[in-house]
């Protein structure tokens, strides 16, 4: 389930502006996806120019991009604090609740983003909505797939196993698990749904991010719209 809609220029503006928030000595959470990638590249250029930072990648892909960009990397358990996390989103509502996981990385993203003193979402205008309505990615232990599908249906969800685009078979996350994209229609109460999903056995993590986002940088055709 990859999100499209915005232009690469819009994403670049958002990512590059958010990268300007990084200060010397910071530990920075490095998000996943095409918008966060612009931030990672910009941080890499700043490192070339002498900025002293360490990045905590949120996925295999963001780790690889950080390495190629020359950003020193560390894991969450090596640091006392994450100063700032910059990450993308699939949809973000007026209260700054978000749906993430289009890149299958939301479990590690949530750990890193939640650990940050400040979590900034970078997005293009197609991600902004009044209410959340996209299917919610749910990472599931493979042995629990059928049981979780039943539990999600009992919550009035309509789960679909995410399949790999370029090969036969399901998407497997960096953590070796499966993904269900669960359609709940318009999510009227993201906090309640988040709590309900977190209580289901077999769910490793879901893609509802409630009360975590501090600001959204939306790249437009001629600038960046900041919401906080």
Write down the catalytic residue from 109, 139, 149, 205. Answer: 109
Strands 136-140 and 203-206, bridge-based pairing: antiparallel
Phi, psi angles (nearest 5°) of residue 202: 100, -20
Q: Is 33 left (phi over 0), alpha (psi -120 to 50) or beta?
A: left
Q: Would you count residue 32 as binding ligand 5RP (CB under 6 A)?
A: yes
Name which of 90, 125, 114 is nearest 14 in CA terms.
125
Site for ligand 5RP in 96-125 (CB under 6 A): 100-106, 109
Q: Would you count residue 31 as binding ligand 5RP (CB under 6 A)?
A: yes
Does the annotation flag 87 for ligand binding? yes
Q: Which helix (H) or strand (E) holds 226?
A: strand 224-227
Does the annotation flag 101 for ligand binding? yes
| List 3, 10, 177, 194, residue binding ligand 5RP (CB under 6 A) | 3
Distance CA 17, CA 104 (A): 25
Does the annotation flag 195 for ligand binding? no
Only one of the segments 32-40, 48-56, 69-77, 219-227 lies at the binding site for ligand 5RP (rule: CB under 6 A); that segment is 32-40
Residue 149 annotated as catalytic: no
Asked if 132 and 190 count as a contact pair (C-beta separation under 8 A), the reply is yes
Does the annotation flag 32 for ligand binding? yes
Q: Would you count residue 34 as binding ligand 5RP (CB under 6 A)?
A: yes
In angstroms, what is the minimal distance from the CB of 135 to ligand 5RP? 12
Binding flags for ligand 5RP, 71-100, as an x/- string (CB under 6 A): ----------------xxxx---------x
Q: Which helix (H) or strand (E) holds 208?
A: strand 208-209
Alpha helices in the chain (DSSP H): 8-19, 34-48, 60-68, 106-115, 145-154, 190-198
Does the annotation flag 207 for ligand binding? no
> Is the CB of 24 or the CB of 165 nearer to ligand 5RP?
165
Q: Which residues are annotated as a binding site for substrate?
A: 32-35, 87-90, 100-103, 127
Q: Hey, which residues are catalytic here?
A: 109
């Amino acid at each position: 389930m990859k999100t499209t809609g915005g232009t690469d220029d819009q994403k670049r503006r958002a990512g590059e502006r958010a990268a300007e928030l990084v200060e010397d000595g910071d530990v920075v959470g490095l998000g996943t996806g095409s918008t966060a990638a612009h931030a990672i590249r910009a941080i890499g250029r700043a490192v070339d120019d002498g900025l002293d930072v360490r990045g905590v990648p949120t996925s295999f892909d963001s780790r690889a991009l950080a390495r190629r960009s020359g950003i020193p990397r560390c894991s969450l358990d090596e640091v006392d604090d994450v100063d700032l996390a910059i990450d993308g989103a699939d949809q973000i509502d007026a209260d700054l609740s978000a749906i993430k996981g289009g890149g299958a990385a939301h479990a590690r993203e949530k750990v890193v983003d939640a650990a940050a003193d400040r979590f900034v979402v970078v997005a293009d205008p197609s991600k902004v909505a009044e209410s959340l309505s996209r299917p919610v990615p749910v990472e599931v232990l493979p042995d629990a797939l059928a049981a979780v599908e039943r539990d999600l249906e009992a919550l009035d969800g309509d789960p679909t196993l995410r399949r790999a685009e370029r090969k036969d078979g399901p998407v497997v996350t960096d953590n070796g698990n499966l993904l269900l994209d669960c359609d709940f229609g318009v999510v009227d109460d993201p906090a309640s749904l988040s709590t309900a999903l977190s209580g289901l056995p077999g769910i490793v993590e879901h893609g509802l991010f409630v009360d975590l986002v501090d600001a959204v940088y939306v790249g437009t055709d001629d600038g960046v719209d900041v919401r906080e």
